[in-house]
Each structure stands twice: as structure tokens, then as C-alpha cells.
Amino acid sequence: MSGRIWQGTDIATDTTVEADVCIIGSGCGGATLAKALALAGRKVVVLERGGYYTEADFDQDELNMNGKLSANRSLKSSTDGGTLLLSGNNVGGASVHYWADTYRTPQDRLDHWAQRYGLTGHGGAELGPVWDALDKVLNVHRADEEHHNRMNQLLREGAKKLGWEGNAVPQARKGCVKSGHCMQGCLYAAKQSQLVTHIPQAVAAGAHVYADILADKLTHANGKVSSLACRVMDRATNRPSGRTLTVHAKQFAVAAGGYYSAPFLIANGLQSQLPALGKHFGMNPTAWAFGLYDEDITLWRNIPAAFGVEEFRLARFDAQKRYLEGGYLLMANQVQPGTLAGTMPLMGDEIGEWMGQAHKIGSTIVWLDDYEEELGTIGVNADGSPKVDYPYGPVTTAMLRDSLKKQVQVMFATGARKVLLGSGRRVMLDSAEDLSAIDQLAITGGGLFMAAPHPFGGCRMGSDPKTSVVGMDHRVHGFQNLFVTDPSVFPTGPSVDPSFTIMAFSTIAARHMLAA
């Protein structure tokens, strides 16, 4: 018997439901888990704070879709105001607006997690077969030439000219029409997000998905959770409707994403017994730059990242452990015209000059691999929202400066006439010899424009309850039936887009939950 996707308006009165498993969150972690458990015959309920939208709702308007798919309209920031915290707020989670980059976790990172943090059961031997199966479901393949827009071609040409290693990016797409509206939700169902893959597959296997539901209070005693009280949200006002949903289940899995899982557990009073809860938090901060070319680029067409520079994925240090360079992936950027204008620090005639040639503007972006000795913390603000304190220590700052220098170099190497940094004040460079200006640029609030789309940590995996939150079976220390199945469990960032790592880890978690 198939399940159903319920919306807040479907719940007219206070309602109680029974399930074998209750999953909080419907993104890469929750959807993957739901499918695996439902196929195994478990009665699964999935709760999603955001709304349920289908291709009929995707109007390709960047402002409208940001309001539908992004939490807080992408305007929530870290405590210093310096970094926007990007996450999904809809059935399918951030996968509905992500770029569909689908990297397997590099073996060096899996080895590091095993050697430094003691992770077992999550190495290449266990994850490899999982990824093989996921490849087929998500149609994962390297981006072909047809899907390299001009910016991706220039990045590839520049990398070759500068001697930097790079490769076509693995993608989860099928039948892509190159519209360029990946971040507005794929109107053509070509991007293989959780919305068009694991969610409908879970529902077909009997899972019930409830949209517009805010998970609130866990009832637990003696290490066992018995129920979860939730509030039904009014999507139009983004406020509680006054109606409630209560879920009784045998098992509970928190898969609310890197920005919400740890705060949920903290709000439920678990921090006193789990001192590592909310610690070791990172978020892949980004830095980007714009180049003005003499040829048409048209950033907002075709797929965002077809080619990635992997030369600098791992940070390099000298014999005295002083930072030299690297610690990030460098890719082509994709922004729609409104966001493009809004993130260029220009005014008056100058912004008119640039936007009058918008089709000739190119852009690059980096995903910073957070330096593990300078990670931040995540907690809860008075209004219940995530509170992110991220230090931007000396090595992290050096990484960001180096990443901007590399972006400037590659754009000038490919014919840019001018390069403008994505920063709070105007920093315009006329040649690759002007890199010293980057050394004076402030990094945090009011300096760089930065966004962070890939949160991790806060519920770190490990064997010691004093330094970790979940064990190798994803079970929260001290609990019999409470699990975490999202990037919150990562000891560090995976150094690549985390979606495929999340899905593989969640598949492992499903096996442990079935065996419990």
C-alpha cells in the first residue's frame, strides 16, 4: 500500500499518528533513510518544516523560489552577520535547490576520519557499494561537453594554462534542458533531487510525508523516546496555525540538516548529558569574484558547475605547519541577474555599466574546506533559530584570501578585462599583479559577501560520549531509539559537496536501525 504526502492544510484538527519510525527532515538524509526503511516494510512517517512544492510551483523567478525553497529567504546569518546560512525549507530539502554536484567522499578524507576520529563502518569498503547503487537511482555521471557553459569552459581552459588539476564534475541529472534555473527548483524534473527520487520512492513503499510540520518536543525517559509533539505551520504566514501533530513511534531519527539537528537536540535539553552537542561545527563558507569579459558568458544558463578545479582541495602546509595554499574546491559560479546585481559592491553609473553588460560577466566561487582546528559552534537563539558562532581563525582567513587570489588569476588568464571581488566594499583589480589588495580585505561582517550552504558537525560521530554525540550506528549516546542521520554527524567536512556522503551515511544508518 502506498503512502501519501500531507500538507498543513490537510490537518484540520489536532492529530496523532502511529509509526515504526519517525524521521525529522526530508532532505538527502531523511529521504534516503525513509526509502530504505519503507522498502524494508517499516511504517515510516517523515516530517518536514517547509512546504511541499512540485514542478507546477517552480516559476523560475529567483525571488519567488527563494521564498519557497530557502529557509529564511537565505537572509539568516551567523552571529557576526558575516555569513549567510543557506538551507532548504521544503519537501526534498536543500537538494531541490542544490547544484546536483554528486561527489563520492574522497578516500583521503575517509581515511582521516578513521585514523583521527576512530570512525568504523563508514569507510570505502562499506560506502562503495552504496554509491554504486545510488549512481543508478540518481543517474550520476560526469558533466559532458554539451553541459559546459562558457564560464565552465573558461575555467577549464584557465586551469590547463595555469597547470592546475581539474575534472568534469559528477552530476545527478537526467534529461537536462540547460535552463540554468537549478537553484529555483528544476521545472523539468531533470535534476535528480530527493523530491523526484527518494521521496516518491519512499511514498510508493508506504511512507507518509507531512509538510508544514515543525518538530518541537521529544518525550523521553530512561533513554527511550516515546513521542514527538509538533506544530502545524501556516505556510502563508510562516507561523504556527494553532493545530498540533503528535507522533508515537518505536524509533526516531533526526535528519533536519546541519543547521537544525543539533539545535533541535539542544532545545530538547540534551546538551547537559552530551557535552559535545553543538561543537565542532563547520559550514563550507564561500568566496567569489566577478570578471568582465569581451565575450558573451551568460552565467545563468546551462548547469552551474560542470568543471571543478581540484588542485587545491587539500590545504598545503610547510614543514613548520604554516599554511601555504589551498583548502577549497574552485568552480564556475552561477547566479541569476538579480542576485548578480545585489552581490556586486558597485553604485551609480558603475553598477549600470556592469549590469548593462551582464551577459559578459563571468564568475567563480570556492567551497572552503573548513580547517578542523578552527571550527565553530552551533546553538539556539532566544527565538529558537540556529545560533552559529564561526571564528574565521588565521588559517581559515588565509584560505579565503588564497582562494580569491586563485580566482583572480584564473579569470585574468582567460581574458577578463577587470575582476571585482564579491565583498562589502569595492575592490576592483585591473591585472593579476594587483593581488596585494586582497591581503587588506576584511573577512567577516562587512568584508566579504559570504554564504555557507554545506553545514556539518554539531552531532559528531565517535565512540566517546564526552567528545561525540552519536556512535557508529548513528544512535545518540545514552538513548535506545534516537538516531541522527545527516551531515551533523561528520567529524569534519568531506571536502566536496556533501550530498552523496549524506546519502551513503544514511543508508548505513538505515541498516543499523533495521537491526536494532
Backbone angles phi, psi at 406, to 5 degrees: -65, -40
What sections of 343-473 are H helices per DSSP?
348-355, 394-413, 436-439
Do 339 and 259 lie in one domain? The reply is: no
Q: Is the pLDDT of residue 1 over 90?
A: no
pLDDT digits (tens, 9 = 90+) for 130-162: 999 999 999 999 999 999 999 999 999 999 999
What integer is the mean pLDDT of 196-218? Answer: 98
Do 254 and 318 lie in one domain? The reply is: no
Share of the chain above pLDDT 70, in %: 100
Does 300 reside within a domain?
yes
Do 114 and 48 lie in one domain? The reply is: yes
Quote the number of domains for the chain.
Answer: 2
pLDDT at site 53? 97
Q: Which long-range contacts (CB under 8 A, 24 or more apart) does 200-205 make?
A: 201/35, 201/39, 201/137, 202/3, 202/31, 202/34, 202/35, 202/38, 202/39, 202/44, 202/46, 203/2, 203/3, 203/4, 203/5, 204/2, 204/3, 205/2, 205/3, 205/35, 205/38, 205/39
Do 416 and 446 lie in one domain? The reply is: yes
Q: Report the C-alpha dihedral over residues 117, 119, 125, 126, rounded to 10 degrees.
A: -140
Which residue carries 547537559 as its cell?
272
Among 411, 435, 452, the domain boundary falls at 452
Backbone angles phi, psi at 419, to 5 degrees: -130, 130
Does 18 reside within a domain?
yes
pLDDT digits (tens, 9 = 90+) for 29-88: 999 999 999 999 999 999 999 999 999 999 999 989 999 999 988 889 999 998 999 999
Rounded CA gap, 247 and 215, in Å? 10
Give the gyration radius of the chain's Cα atoms: 22
The mean-pLDDT minimum among 91-100, 287-296, 425-434 falls in 425-434
Grid coordinates representing 21? 519510525
Write out 123-172 in H/E/C secondary structure. Answer: CHHHHHHHHHHHHHHHCEEECCHHHCCHHHHHHHHHHHHHCCCEEECEEE
Do 388 and 300 lie in one domain? The reply is: yes
pLDDT at site 424? 86
Kindly report the length of the chain. 516
pLDDT band at 213 (very low <50, low <70, confident <90, very high): very high
Among 452, 470, 487, the domain boundary falls at 452
Confirm if 232 and 11 have CB atoms less than 8 A apart. yes
pLDDT at site 440? 84
Of 5, 44, 46, give the one whose Cα is nearest residue 26. Answer: 46
Point out which residues pair with 429 in neighbouring strands.
419
SS3 470: strand
Domain range holding 56? 4-71+88-138+185-279+458-515
* H or E segment to which residue 83 belongs: strand 83-85
What integer is the mean pLDDT of 240-250? Answer: 98
Does 243 reside within a domain?
yes
Do 326 and 438 lie in one domain? The reply is: yes
The mean pLDDT of the chain is 96
Do 428 and 502 lie in one domain? The reply is: no
